[in-house]
Amino acid sequence: MPTPESDQRTLPQVVAATARALPERVAISDGPVSLTYAELDAARLRAAAAFLAAGLAHGERIAIWAPNMWQWIVAAMGAQTIGGVLVPLNTRLKGAEAGFILRRSGARWLFTVGEFLGMCYPAMVAHEDLPDLQGTVLFDGESAGTQAWSEFLARGDAVDPAAVEARASQLTPDDTLDILFTSGTTGQPKGVVTSHGQNIRAFSTWSATVGLSSDDNYLIINPFFHSFGYKAGWLAATICGARMLPVKQFDLDAVLSQIHRDRVSVIPGPPTIYQSLLSHPQRGEYDLSSLRLAVTGAAPVPVSLIEKMRSELGFQVVVTAYGLTESCGVISICRPEDSAERISHSSGRAMAGVEMKCVDANGATVAAGTEGEIWCRGYNVMQCYLDNPEETARTITADGWLKTGDVGVMDEDGYVRITDRIKDMFIVGGFNCYPAEIENSLHSMPGVTRAAVIGVPDERMGEVACAWIVPAAGAQLDEAAVIAWSREHMANYKVPRVVRLVPELPMNAGGKVLKNELRQRMAAERG
């Protein structure tokens, strides 16, 4: 098997190689469905044939808008096998948000479910203008104007397997694997384009660094629409031959039962997951002795939490990591031998084959221990933002450095501690939130003249959105009305939990809102 440092393969090559090496190893256990790696490989090829029958051309996009489930993986692999490009959609998006990404990506097919958490996804986009979309396929459930997953697969049964292999053989590691949409200071989601080879190398390296192996039973709680659940989740598991256990919806009792029942050994996720496990009053009734590896991040990790994860939950390895969608999801990782203090106080050091530095406003490297913007360079840096050369040029320097927009301090050993976010992004329960995107939505609310959003501390979620709003003259707005409107028009994690109505916003001479002043006001208010 190729070493992580030289692993330049395509996704179909990876799946086929694992199936040859571990044909009888269980690849996915999802409720009553269990697939070995040989069966997963066969399911991938059948899905690929169905995509050929549907006319999916090399480089065309398919979108998946569904919770973690085995069909999600098979559909993604099938499309990627013949050169299709995956566009995952956040399951918390509202119709207009999903419609924007479907239009922007030009997705040809949408794969979803009839209903999840009370939302009917096909109905939510039924009135969106989607000129490129050829059809919608349901993994389960029912909805008018859609096709069942079983019917879609059956379309490929007449396709010659040699045609699938021919398309797969034309793929190169430089071909696009996926486009994950992220937001930025402009408030408009941007499509991050990355390739087969760079993702496979990145997560071969990630897996080798954290110690993921074919003996592991991997409970994938992180959603597949995010690089943590997709790339550090099922892609990494497939590379290593680990057993995947997808979790549709986080339920603490169900998770504890599954750890006990399925001898779960790996659970990556934000710190809140481990805090929830530790605080469960019936934790002692479950056998958690199989737990071995935890990879966390996205929020500060106290030393005491790391120590309890080791002593009370039994994790042998606890590491933190840092990355961006624009870096295939990973830049730096702690090492298993690092101390609890180092793991708590840093996001690790650059993974093999990647450079990382902190720079000043002029792009000059700052001394160790000095705060600066984090830049990285290496094979993991995205190819570009989709159809956005100007933003790509602003984000990647001429000599290949990715400007992360995060501020940090690097020590003499190369370990980095994230201290601030240039882009004002904040993290709600592990989800990235961008004020400009929320502000853009709030500006469309009747009665709102201006809006500014900041992140404020929250004991349970880490941070939540706080909206400062200038009402229009005569508008009857209050905090409850703004929150209720937001719940109808944006994903739940973006919804402001705190609203302040003010006659005006503090601004500088250039008309920019002084968010530091808003933060100071909120800090003073909260004491």
What CATH number did the domain enclosing 476 receive? 3.30.300.30
State the DSSP H helix or E strand holding residue 354, giving kind and residue range, or none if neither.
strand 354-359
Helices (H) and strands (E) counted in the chain, each on its own, are 18, 25
Rounded Cα–Cα distance for residues 93 and 89 (Å): 8
- Could you give the number of structural domains in the chain? 3
243 inside domain: no
Q: In what order do the strands lie in the sheet with 26-30?
A: 33-36, 26-30, 243-246, 217-220
φ/ψ of 126, rounded to 5, equals -60, -30
At 498, the pLDDT band (50, 70, 90 cuts) reads very high
Residues 440 and 494 in one domain: yes
Dihedral pair phi/psi, residue 413, rounded to 5° = -90, 0
Q: Which residue has the higher pLDDT, 434 or 113?
A: 113
User: Which residues, at least 6 apart from 424, have a Cβ–Cβ distance to it below 8 Å?
Assistant: 185, 434, 435, 436, 454, 455, 515
Q: Residue 379 corresponds to which amino acid?
A: Y
- pLDDT value for 527: 76
Report the pLDDT averaged over residues 413-424. Answer: 82
Out of 406, 421, 436, a domain closes at: 421
Distance CA 124, CA 426 (A): 27
412 and 393 belong to one structural domain: yes
Q: What is the CATH number of the domain that holds 128?
A: 3.40.50.980
Angle of CA points 262, 266, 270, to nearest 5°? 120
Q: Residue 27's pLDDT is what? A: 98
Structure tokens at 103: 């239009």
Please say if the pLDDT value at position 525 is more than 70.
Answer: yes
Q: Which of 52-61, 89-98, 271-280 has the lowest mean pLDDT?
A: 271-280
Does residue 203 sit within a domain?
A: no
Three-state SS annotation for 167-217: HHHCCCCCCEEEEEEECCCCCCCEEEEEEHHHHHHHHHHHHHHHCCCCCCE
Residues 120 and 261 in one domain: no
In a domain, 244, yes or no: no
Stretch 483-500: mean pLDDT, rounded?
95
Q: Which two tokens stand for residue 403?
A: 């400007």
Mean of pLDDT values over 69-87: 98
pLDDT at 300: 63
**What is the CATH number for 334?**
3.40.50.12780
* Residue 313 pLDDT greater than 80, yes or no: yes
Same domain (yes/no): 491, 413:
no
Which pLDDT does position 384 carry in this prediction? Answer: 98
Mean pLDDT of 293-308: 82
Return d(Cα 527, Cα 516) in angstroms, integer. Answer: 16
Whether pLDDT at 387 is above 60:
yes
Clarify whether residues 362 and 504 are in a common domain.
no
Structure confidence at residue 146 as a pLDDT band (50, 70, 90)? very high
- Please tell me whether residues 35 and 157 are part of one structural domain: yes
445 shares a domain with 408: no
Q: What are residue 261's phi and psi, to 5 degrees?
A: -70, -45
pLDDT tier for residue 131 given thresholds of 50, 70 and 90 = very high
Q: What is the average pLDDT score of the chain? A: 93
Question: Averaged over 50-77, what is the pLDDT?
Answer: 98
For residue 99, the enclosing domain spans 4-196
Same domain, 388 and 487: no
Which percentage of the chain shows pLDDT scores above 70? 96
pLDDT of residue 510: 52
Return the percentage of the chain with pLDDT > 90, whole number: 79
**Would the pLDDT of 215 be above 60?**
yes
CA distance 265 to 258: 11
Mean pLDDT of 335-354: 92
pLDDT at residue number 332: 96
Tell me how far apart the alpha carbons of residues 139 and 111 are, in angstroms, rounded to a whole number.
7
pLDDT given at position 108: 98
**Structural domain contains residue 324:** yes
Query: Looking at the domain assignment, is residue 363 inside a domain?
Result: yes
Tens of pLDDT, residue by residue over 395-404, are 999 999 999 9
pLDDT at 24 over 90: yes
447 and 388: one domain? no
Determine, yes or no, domain membership for 227.
no
Residue at 83 is within a domain: yes
Which among 389, 421, 453 is the end of a domain?
A: 421
pLDDT at 236 over 90: yes
Same domain flag for 56 and 180? yes
Bridge partner list, 106: none
Q: What is the pLDDT of residue 449?
A: 84
- How many whole angstroms from its chain centre is CA 145? 29
Asked whether residue 362 is assigned to any structural domain, the reply reads: yes
Based on the domain organization, do 412 and 344 belong to the same domain?
A: yes
Does 22 share its domain with 169?
yes
Determine phi and psi for 466, rounding to 5 degrees: -120, 120
Q: What is the DSSP string of 52-71?
A: HHTTPPTT-EEEEE--S-HH
Q: Tell whether the model's pLDDT for residue 185 goes beyond 50.
A: no
Of 158, 178, 196, the position where a domain reaches its end is 196
Torsion angles phi and psi, residue 65, rounded to 5: -130, 80
- pLDDT greater at residue 84 or residue 274: 84
